[in-house]
A = this chain, B = another copy of it.
Amino acid sequence: MSGPAFKNWQTIQDEVLRRIHAREWPPGHVIPGEVALAREFGCARATVNRALRALADAGILERRRKAGTRVALHPVSKATVDIPVIRREIEDRGRAYDYRLLTRETAPPPPRVQAELGLNGAAPCLHVTALHSADGAPYVHEDRWISLATVPQAAEADFTTVSANEWLLTTAPYTHGDITFAAEGAAHPAAEILTCPEGTPVFVIARITWDHGRAITTVRLTYAPGYRVRSEIGPATL
């Protein structure tokens, strides 16, 4: 045995993955404890910890105090989807970005939006719709409600040159959010703006962002037909 030299935590991670993969440690199997592995690999326990913790974050392992570490029975793979600013998303694909503000008005939001933002009827909101284009072709229609109670500065922003999408990210950062992906038929305003017949299958992303429990904004992004969200999955994801 030429000591394989498990020096760094990535080497150890690879070896653990190899054993899982080779069925030396089948799903559900409780693997040796950190001290035992550290002894075997000839490294400090902290190094083993680093490797195992990374695998646990990736969903490959399940760890519980005292119970030990076991190979996940259902390897719930996690796909991490990057949600960049729309301008960047377009420019990163090497296409020319163009932005056009369509409407901008202060109004009481419809009940559905009120509920999403957790507001009562009186709260004023800013309603902004816009079109982002790539190489001159419609790319995504943005339909956004901004809570003026949370972001009063928005009342003075005009959104003609900088999109609300971008303005909010640099002005009113959120602490957490909620996002859903869905397939829908293109509906009234968005269909014409995206120049496709009503009912055309389109990809829709709905997002709500919060700042410490106070809702900032809710937005519906209706993408032009053909849009796809791509992501990679697997241990390397982390």
Contact = CB atoms under 8 A, between A and B. Distances in A.
Interface in A165-203: 169-170, 173-185, 199-203
A223 B201 CA distance: 13
A93 interface: no
A17, A185, A211, A236 — most chain B CB neighbours (10 Å): A185
Interface residues of A, number: 57
A88, A211, A229 — most chain B CB neighbours (10 Å): A229
Q: What copy number does this chain have within its complex?
A: 2
B232 A177 contact: yes
A81 B83 contact: no
A46 B228 CA distance: 40
A65 B209 CA distance: 32
B185 A201 contact: yes
Contacts of A178: 230-233
A170 B27 CA distance: 7
8 contacts: A77-B82, A77-B83, A77-B177, A79-B83, A175-B234, A181-B231, A182-B229, A209-B233
